[in-house]
């Protein structure tokens, strides 16, 4: 038998290709002989952007978590019955 199609699609989604960045795309040009430093600067910029994205995603997830906790802690209006006793 063959492989299930869904599994193959999942595996294709997770394939990463690493390609060299063209020289004209580097954020700074320091001149001849400093290509390694240019790449280090680019890698630092990428790392800082990655950290910022992770922080932004975590902040969004925290807000969602807080909202879910609020909803589960406080019952919605009209969902609980109040018991009243009449004393005569």
Q: What's the pLDDT at 55?
A: 95
**What is the DSSP code string of 16-40?**
----PPPGGG-S----TT-HHHHHH
Contact 42, 35 (CB under 8 A): no
The parts of the chain modelled with pLDDT lower than 70 are: 1-14, 74-88
Tokens read off for 33: 């002989």
Question: What is the pTM (predicted TM-score) of this model?
Answer: 0.49
Identify whether the C-beta of residue 60 lies closer than 8 Å to the C-beta of residue 44: no
**Tokens 């910022």 label which residue?**
52
Q: Where are the domains of the chain?
A: 5-73
Return the pLDDT at 19: 78
Q: Say how far apart CA 17 and CA 10 lie, in whole Å.
A: 16
């Amino acid at each position: 038998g063959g492989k299930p199609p869904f599994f193959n699609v999942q595996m294709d989604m997770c394939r990463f290709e690493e390609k060299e960045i063209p020289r004209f795309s580097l954020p700074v040009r320091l001149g001849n002989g400093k290509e390694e430093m240019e790449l280090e600067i680019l890698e630092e910029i990428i790392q800082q952007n990655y950290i910022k994205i992770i922080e932004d995603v975590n902040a969004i997830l925290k807000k969602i978590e807080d909202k879910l906790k609020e909803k589960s802690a406080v019952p919605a209006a009209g969902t609980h019955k109040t018991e009243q006793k009449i004393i005569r």
